Amino acid sequence: MSIVDTRRLESLGEWSASLFLLGGLMFAVSAALTLVAMATGAVQSSMVLGEAFIAAGWIASLIGLLGLYPVVADRNPWLGRAGVFFVLVGLVAFIYLAVASLLAFVQGLEITEIPIPIVVLLPGIIAGSLLAFVSFSVASLRSEAHSRPVGLLMLVPSAIFVTNFLVLPAILGSGPNPPEVGFVITGLLTLAMLAIGYVLRAEDAPATRAEPVATSAAE
Residue 3 half-sphere exposure toward CB, CA atoms < 13 A: 11
Distances (CA, A) of 138 to 76, 94, 148, 152, 185: 9, 23, 10, 9, 24
Nearest to 193 by CA among 2, 95, 56: 56
Give the model's pLDDT for residue 207.
44
Mean local confidence (pLDDT), 150-159 = 94
pLDDT at 29 over 80: yes
pLDDT at 86 over 70: yes
**Looking at this protein, which amino acid is placed at residue 136?**
F
